[in-house]
Amino acid sequence: MKLIATDVDDSIQKMNNMLRAELERPGHAIASYFYRSHLVYQQELTELVFRSWLYACHVSEIAAPGDYQLLEIGEDSVILVRDAAGEIHALMNICRHRGARVCEESSGNRKTFVCPYHGWVYNTDGSLKAAREMEILEGFDPSDHGLKRASVVVFMGLVFVNCDPGAPDFRGPLQNIAQPLGAYDLEHAKVAHRQTYRVDANWKLVLENYLECYHCATSHRAYARMHTLKERDCKVEPIVQAMLDRTEEVTGVKGMGNGYERIYLDAEAFGACVYHSRYGLYDGFLTGSENGQPVAPLMGHIQDYDGGAGDFQMGPLSFMLNYPDHCVLYRFIPRSLTATDMEVVWFVNGDAREGVDYDREKVTWLWHNTTLEDEYIITRNSEGVNSHFFEPGPYHPEFEATLQQFVNWYLETLSRVA
Ligand code: FES
Ligand SMILES: [Fe+2]
């Protein structure tokens, strides 16, 4: 891992000047300053990441009362837990006494969370159950000292968290993709595999890589053989249109091809991006696997292969690539200035049995390998961007259009608060 030096003269004033300079020069990659400054990183957490809706986990991973999963964001930790009454809560993993983590294991089942430091005990709904010997403190009211909360929304089995307790609604925006997303019946889907890829690069470099397919032809040979996204729209329009013309009839799902785009500055509310488009696979390829042939039973309500795949975005940092027989979720979370967790989750139909109906290696092959290719190219990018002589070049107007939407949102949001 490369060590990144912070500029010694860094300040809010400098950040403002740098932001202004970028806004005056649209269409270009941004300066290395934004990938190197600890001050910028802290602003990003406060103003972007902690105000955005993030995928946390699937309902099946916290199915029973007391089941929980931790979500690590930056240096912070959020507990996603199902309480005794079956309700899901997002609780800040910070004791209300003197701040110790109340839960260390990344997942499990608990009747209560007991702080390891002085033994305060919290219920799974976050309320303080017991604070040892604190009754002698006059006026101490346990109900004032429950674990702090984040906002939580469950949509089609996907649990989303927003660290802002007053975050604007996300369910309403998500409703706009209910028809195509509903096809996969994710609520009853099964997590076939889940893996965290720690990338030694600033989170923006990792996300920016995901937001463009300019690199697909050069970095992802296996992917590029099957997916039309590696080409400009005009070159693959007939393939995509033919797929869209047949998709409803073949899949049996009304609205399967319906596109929707409200992301970044166009999002209905801050941090509530929603996107769907259905794009084509080349002739002879049915799904995203090593040879393009099915690797699991058809998902949800889908009746047959239409030669298409669904491209979804839910919030600024969470995405899905949905094939008729499996779905792949991506989430990007900063862990430090130079470390990012890229979480990949593979879903199959809820009834599918591993080793009988699907082989986990086959389901994960394409996107595991593609992710490793991305990790390689992102870390090379990070080295170059952090070198003294880096000068940002122009974005490709079509291939890197979404990336520019992200960068505009990023610059506008930080400059509004700076
Ligand atoms: S810090 Fe948790 S009980 Fe003291
Ligand atoms: Fe990639």
CA atoms of 333 and 54, how far apart (whole Å): 9
Answer whether 118 contacts ligand 1 (Cβ < 6 A).
Answer: yes
Closest ligand 1 atom to residue 98 Cα is 1
The full set of domain ranges for the chain reads 61-153, 169-417
User: Ligand 1 center to residue 152 CA distance, Å?
Assistant: 25
CA atoms of 129 and 39, how far apart (whole Å): 38
Q: How far is CA 413 from the centre of its chain?
A: 19
Give the pairing type, strands 112-114 and 121-123.
antiparallel
Answer whether 115 contacts ligand 1 (Cβ < 6 A).
Answer: yes
Closest ligand 1 atom to residue 102 Cα is 2
Closest ligand 1 atom to residue 120 Cα is 3
Question: Which of 98, 101, 134, 147 to probe ligand 1 with, by most ligand atoms within 8 A of CB?
Answer: 98
Q: Assess contact for 159 and 55: CB atoms under 8 A.
A: yes
Domain 169-417: assigned CATH number: 3.90.380.10
Answer whether 50 contacts ligand 1 (Cβ < 6 A).
Answer: no
Answer whether 117 contacts ligand 1 (Cβ < 6 A).
Answer: yes
> What class, spelled out in words, does domain 61-153 have in CATH?
mainly beta
Q: What pLDDT is stored for residue 1 in this prediction?
A: 54
User: Ligand 2 center to residue 220 CA distance, Å?
Assistant: 7
Question: Which of 91, 96, 97, 122 to probe ligand 1 with, by most ligand atoms within 8 A of CB?
Answer: 97
Spell out the per-residue pLDDT of the chain, length 418, in tens: 556 666 668 999 999 999 999 999 999 999 999 999 999 999 999 999 999 999 999 999 999 999 999 999 999 999 999 999 999 999 999 999 999 999 999 999 999 999 999 999 999 999 999 999 999 999 999 999 999 999 999 999 999 999 999 999 999 999 999 999 999 999 999 999 999 999 999 999 999 999 999 999 999 999 988 998 888 888 899 999 999 999 999 999 999 999 999 999 999 999 999 999 999 999 999 999 999 999 999 999 999 999 999 999 999 999 999 999 999 999 999 999 999 999 999 999 999 999 999 999 999 999 999 999 999 999 999 999 999 999 999 999 999 999 999 999 999 999 987 6
Ligand nearest to C-alpha 205: 2
Question: Which of 93, 118, 122, 148 to probe ligand 1 with, by most ligand atoms within 8 A of CB?
Answer: 118
Q: What pLDDT is stored for residue 234 in this prediction?
A: 87
C-alpha distances out from residue 183 to 30, 215, 298, 362, Å? 38, 30, 10, 22
User: Ligand 1 center to residue 165 CA distance, Å?
Assistant: 23
Closest ligand 1 atom to residue 99 Cα is 1
Question: Which residues sit with Cβ closer than 5 angstroms to ligand 2, an ion?
Answer: 374
Answer whether 406 contacts ligand 1 (Cβ < 6 A).
Answer: no
Answer whether 132 contacts ligand 1 (Cβ < 6 A).
Answer: no
Ligand nearest to C-alpha 214: 2
| Residue ID of nearest Cα to ligand 1 atom 3 | 118
User: Ligand 2 center to residue 83 CA distance, Å?
Assistant: 39
Q: What pLDDT is stored for residue 229 in this prediction?
A: 84
Q: Look at the alpha carbons of 209, 213, 217, 221 in this order and tell me if their dihedral is positive or negative.
A: positive
Answer whether 246 contacts ligand 1 (Cβ < 6 A).
Answer: no
Q: What pLDDT is stored for residue 165 in this prediction?
A: 96
Q: What pLDDT is stored for residue 408 in this prediction?
A: 98
